[in-house]
Amino acid sequence: MNREHTDRKKERGLTLVEVLVAFFILFVVTLAVLQLLAMAYLVNLGSMIRTDLSYRAERVVETIRLQRYRVFVVGAAEDPCCPVVGPSAAKMITPTDCQTFWGSDGANVMEAGARHTLSYTINNNTVTVQAEPLKTGNNQYIGPATFKVVIYVAQLQ
């Protein structure tokens, strides 16, 4: 009987303290990786929002260029939804007004339930478009990028 008892003493194993320390280290490393993934998600979300707003602002500029061509070269009448001449050449674009012009059937810049606001001004052949995420309401973006504003400036010919 003594012989079996002495053989067990020679066997090596992990104590409860060693197992708890290993679990604690694994827990800390896992938390750090999860925090890193959460931050990467927020950064990607912010980039997506800024890219979307920049793209929409660029489409506003291209629509204004087309309208200016129609008014100055072709001689068409100025569309009240997209003023391009004189002191009225500033507009806040909302999803409710001029939906046929700025909406999916027209310039495809604003849609119902938009998560952003767009406005533009024309001054000395320079158009400045400001795209800004909504700060209130049900349809707003989430994350830190909601406080960013995209200002797109282009030269008109």
Evaluate if residue 129 carries a pLDDT over 90.
Answer: yes
CB neighbours of residue 145 within 10 Å:
18
Read off the pLDDT of residues 54-74 as tens digits, 9 standing for 90 and up: 999 999 999 999 998 999 889
Q: From 133, 130, 109, 129, select the one nearest 49 (Cα to Cα).
A: 133
For the chain, the first-to-last Cα distance in angstroms comes to 102
> Distance between CA 154 and CA 123 in Å, rounded?
11
Percent over 90 (pLDDT), the chain: 34
Mean pLDDT (the chain) is 85
Residues in the chain: 157
The residue among 144 and 25 whose pLDDT is bigger is 25
